[in-house]
A and B are shown apart, each in its own frame.
Chain A
Amino acid sequence: MNADISTLKSLLSKGLYLDNLNEMIEICNRIIAQVAEPLPVYVLLSIFYDIYLSWDERFLPVEEIKQTESLFLPSLKGIITLIETSDDKSKLWNALNDLTKAYVSWVKREM
């Protein structure tokens, strides 16, 4: 699992784009099957998947990608670090709530 987490972090550092999202979805699927508490990874997976579906088959403006990245990347990176260290559950819970809020605002923007 550790190798998958570090690959996920490395992919995330490259930003969000379709091929990258696809790879991160595959990795999340692998991690889910290995961890005792899969909920945080499932949230990540669902968000990657929804962004993928929204961007697929489109000629995306750089601006839209930047906006999405600034909305999601800080929370996503924070959550991955918390999953990796798994030391503070309440921090993880708060981070998941922040990510979900970001998702809700992204969905509103997409509509």
Chain B
Amino acid sequence: MQRRRFLQGAATGSALALAGCTAPAISERDSGRWDQTVDVLVAGSGAAATSAAIDAHRTGVSTLVLEKLTVIGGSSAMSGGVIYLGGGTPLQKVCGFEDSRQAMYDYIANASHLHPQLDKIARYCDGSLEHFDWLVGNGVPFVPRFSNVREMTFGDESLYYSGSEKAWPYRDLARPAPRGHVPSREGLKGVNGGRVLMQALHASARAQGIRFVTDAKVQRLVVGDDGAVLGVQALIAGELRRIRARGGVVLACGGFIHNRAMVREHAPELYDCSTPWANMGDMGEGIQMGVSVGAGTLRMDQGFSIVPIYPPNQVVKGIVVNRSGQRFINEDVYHARLGDAIAYHEQGKAWLICDADSAYGYDDYRVKVVAQADTVAELGRALKFPDAVLEQTVQYYNRFAAQKQDPMFHKQEEYLSPLQKAPFVAYDLSVDKAFFVAHTFGGLHTSVDTEVLNGFGEAIPGLYAAGRTSHGIPTSPYIGSGISVGDSLFFGRVAGRHAAGRVAA
């Protein structure tokens, strides 16, 4: 970039920064003197940011965490807090389940989108047992009980099947094991995992002397003449401060689902989903700041698109059909796999067809009844499907379901029953009609060591990214609850250690 153009950008950026917005990077020469120097600076305060700070701090370097909002914790603290771990964790063992590192790897690698980042998956699986110990060591509590629910338990159990492990075809690709590890305490009811997880980690971090500063927004990166990231400009309590980060800057400030223009541009399938799902801070600013210093991005269109049809379990005995009135998936898959199929592969349109025995039986906020009829033929006409297709679909399904078979999609036996008892009901599962939640997985391109890579695949010195600011293990389809928070925690730690390592170097 020519210096004049850079300076023009710097001037524009200064106006943006003073207005409280994130802005393009600025050169060290134009940014003025440093107000403060730390070793590792972390932007954000969720799972990735907090684990980065903890592991950086443990190497003996000074660490500062800046959170733009009033409350720390990010999307992680608001989430279910599930952590996808395996390979035979103590929790799996005490609950009586066998698992192996290979089975965990095979599930993640095979269930994820085409050509996932296998080096990251391998690193994640290699470190799973140690990572469980790290969590426990930082005070994250688990209750040694298993739940057989299909969705996160409202009880206090800490282990469940959080993905499609038992569903076809995954059960044939990797030996199933429950890997959803939910932070919990004895007797705790409700969905508390995210709060329990982040309260424990924040307490641990603070006890170790790590400072979290709120209402402190990292607004732009400061770069040297060689392109290395040297620090940041941040707006803290209304004052613009320049903070040098000797080891590096870790961008761990979430995805971009609430930046609607960015979602429309990069992830159109997610844009159409009815329910953006994240902390209000997920505005894509970390990604934008990374791009402003030449970072590449990966799979910006991907994310989770979840249509949570269960519980109750009986609705999984229904069938899901597309605009042609035909099935396209086994309905017992993880609800993000189902949502992905609808959002990304069926033009966002689908319907759940139930009979009297499999219907919800009450008004549920997640789905709306759009047709009800005494016969399947009438239901098909009401839904304006091609003539007679829905009857064929149900006849074929019923013929084999009566024998506990599903030759087309191999749904598990327990969910196979003929649909034959009137009234027949259709629920609209379309992305813009159902409670269809969406969150982004695209982000900065990072190495397995979380270095942010430029468009040529070269590391940008001094810049790291983790969590949903980066593109990590989670892909579309999302393969199980706990992959995103698990990835954030694990690679946040990697980022913290590597950034700290640059101080000594």
Co-complex (A, B): no
Chain A contact residues, CB within 8 Å of chain B: none
Chain B contact residues, CB within 8 Å of chain A: none
